Structure 1
Amino acid sequence: MAFAITQTCCADASCVSVCPVNCIHPTPDEPDFGTTDMLYVDPDTCIDCGACADACPVDAIFPTGALTGPLAAYPEINAEYYAERDVLAEATVAPNFHRWAPPSFARILPSDFAPLDVAVVGTGPAGMYAVEDLLLHTNSRVTLIDRLADAGGLVRYGVAPDHPSTKKIGETFARFHDHPRLHLRLGVEAGPELAARHDAVIWAVGATEARPLGIPGEDLPGSLPAASVVGWYNGHPDLEPDAVDLSAERVVVVGTGNVALDVARILTADPATLAGTSLAP
C-alpha cells in the first residue's frame, strides 16, 4: 500500500531527502519545486517504507488505505501529478539515487574565518527557516528577535486553530530556541541599531499591513481585512477581543483562497467542533 501526501503539506522537502526510491516530487532541484501547492508521492514507485511519514514535520503523509472522509481524494491527487510524466525515463541514474545537483562551493572561507553575528527579526516560518540554515550550515551566532511575547509568527497567529497538524511545525522550529549559538529575545522592538551591532540582519517580519483592494466602502465600519479576522480568532495581542462584531447574521467574504476559506469555515462552524482547539475565547 503506497503513501500519499495530503493538504497540510508544508513542502519543506524533509520527506524527499529520506525517500530511498526517489518517489516524491518535485524535488528541490526540479523546476516545479516551489510552484506546486504540495509535494506528491508516485504510487507506482513507492515501496511503502513509511520513511516520509516519519520525517514529515506536519503529519501530512499517510498510507492511502487510512485516508477517509475529506482526505480520501488525496491518493488520486498524488497519482494525477504523475499521469503525464515518466519519472524513470526522466531519471539519468537508477531511481534509488536522487538526481540532485552536486554541491557547489562558490565561496571558499579561510579556516580561521570568525563566526558571524546575525540578527533574525521574526519568529515565523521565514525567520525560523533562516535560523535553521544558519545554525546547521554555518558557525554563526544568531540573535532571534520578535516584538511579541510569544514566538511563532504566522504558525501561532495565522494558521486556523482547527488545523493542529499544520501548527505542529512550530514544535520543529522551537527546538532551535535552546540552541547554544542562539539568543532568543521576545517582546523586543527591533530597529536600525541592529545593523551596527551585527554582521548581518535578516528581516523576516512579513506584511505588516493589509493591501487595500480599492473597493468603494472598504473603509466603512464592519469591513475588515482577513489578517485582522485571523489574528482575532487566534488571539493576536494586537487585537481586542471585540475586534470582530459578531452581532450581524450575514457576512460577505471576498476571495476564495485558503485564508478566505479558513475565515468562512470558522465563522460557520458549530462551536462544539472548535472545543479543545487553540481558538481564542
Structure 2
Amino acid sequence: MTYAITQTCCADATCVAVCPVNCIHPTPEERDFGSTEMLHIDPKTCIDCGACADACPVDAIFPVESLSAAQREYGPLNAAYYEGREAGSVTSGPNFHAWGEPVFERVLPSGFAPVRVAVVGTGPAGMYAVEDLLLHTGAEVTLIDRLPVAGGLIRYGVAPDHPSTKKVQDVFARFHAHPRVRMHLGLDVGKDVTHRELAAHHDAVVYAVGAGADRRLSVPGEDLPGSLSARTF
C-alpha cells in the first residue's frame, strides 16, 4: 500500500524531512519546489511507513486505498509526476537515502547574548520565521500583529469550509506560548508604535505583514452594495 498527497497540501516540506526513503518530491533543494501545485509521493519507492501522514500539518496525505471518491484521482496524479524520471538511489542503513554534508550556518560565539528579534505579522510567513528563530537560535522574539487575534491569512483569508487547510494554524499556535516569545496583538506598527521605536529595542525586525488592504479592480459597479472583496468576505 502506498500513500498519496492530495490537493490540500501546503508544501511546507515537513513530510520530505521525515521520509526515510526520499520518495517525496520536489524537495526544497530541487528546482521545481514552489512551482508545483502540491508535492508528490513516488508509489514505486514508498515503503508504506506512514511517517509523512503523521507529520503532515494539514492532513493531506492518505493511503491510496483509503482515498474517497472525490480524492481518488490523486493516486494517479502522484504517480504521473514520476513518469519519465529516474528512480532515486537506495542504499542500506536506517535511512535509505544518502544525506549531504552537515551545514552549521547558525553558529554563534559562546557567551553571545541572545538577540532580540521583532516579527511583525502572525500569518504563515511570520510564523515560519519565528519557528526558525526558536529552533535554531537563542533569540528572544517579540511577535506583533495589528489584528486582535493571531493567524493572518490562515485565520482571516481561508474559508471556514476548508478546515484541513486552516489546521496548519495549530502548528504555529504552539509557538505563541513559547517562553522566549512575547506576543502583542492589536498593536499597529506605524500607528501605535513607530518603526524607529521598534528598531531601537530590537537587534532585528522582520516585516511579514502580507496584504494589508484589498486590491482595487477599477471596474464599473465595484462599489455597489453586495460587491465585496475576497478578504472582506
If the length of structure 1 is used for normalisation, what is the TM-score?
A: 0.75
1 or 2 for the larger relative contact order (CA 8 Å, sep ≥6)? 2
**1:4 matched to 2:4:** yes
SS at 2:71 equivalent: helix
**1:219/1:105 CA distance change after superposition, 3 Å:** same
Q: Partner residue of 1:61?
A: 61
- Structure 1 gap segments, 5+ residues each: 230-281
Q: Which residue type is aligned with residue 205 of structure 2?
A: V
Query: How far apart, in 2, do the equivalents of 1:168 and 1:9 lie?
Result: 11
Q: How many residues align?
A: 225
Distance 1:106 1:125, change over 3 A: closer
Contact 2:106 2:136 in 1 (8 A): no
- 1:50–1:228: structure 2 CA closer, same or farther, 3 Å change rule? same
The CA deviation string for residues 199-230 of structure 1, in whole angstroms up to 9 with x for no partner, is 1111111011222334344344443322222x
Q: Distance in 2 between matches of 1:179 and 1:107?
A: 20
- The equivalent position to 2:207 in structure 1, one of 203, 206, 212, is 203
Instruction: State the 1:175 CA deviation.
Output: 0.6
| 3-state SS of paired residue (1:172) | helix
Distance 1:178 1:163, change over 3 A: same
Cα deviation 1:1-33 (Å, max 9, x = unaligned): 100001111111111111111100011111111
Task: Determine helix, strand or coil for the equivalent of 1:69.
Answer: coil
| Letter in structure 2 aligned against 1:228 | T
Divergent runs of 4+, >6 A: none
Sequence identity of aligned pairs in percent?
A: 66
Higher helix share: 1
CA distance in 2, matches of 1:108, 1:160: 41
Aligned to 2:219: 215
Once residues 178 and 149 of structure 2 are traced to their aligned partners in structure 1, the CA distance between those partners, rounded to angstroms, is 17
Counterpart secondary structure, 2:232? helix
CA contact (8 A) 2:119 2:130 kept: yes
Q: Does 1:224 align with 2:228?
A: yes
Where structure 2 has 5 or more consecutive residues not aligned to the other structure, the ranges are none
- Is residue 45 of structure 1 aligned with residue 45 of structure 2? yes
Contact preservation (8 Å) 2:106, 2:137: no
Give 1:125's aligned residue.
124
TM-score by length of 2: 0.89
Residues 103, 214 of structure 1: alpha-carbon distance in 2 compared, 3 angstrom cutoff:
farther
Q: Is the 1:124–1:151 contact (alpha carbons within 8 Å) kept by the matching residues of 2? A: yes
Distance 2:101 2:211 in 1: 35
Root-mean-square deviation (CA, aligned residues, Å) is 1.9
**Per-residue deviation, residues 120-141 of structure 1 (Å, max 9, x unmatched):** 1111111110100000001100
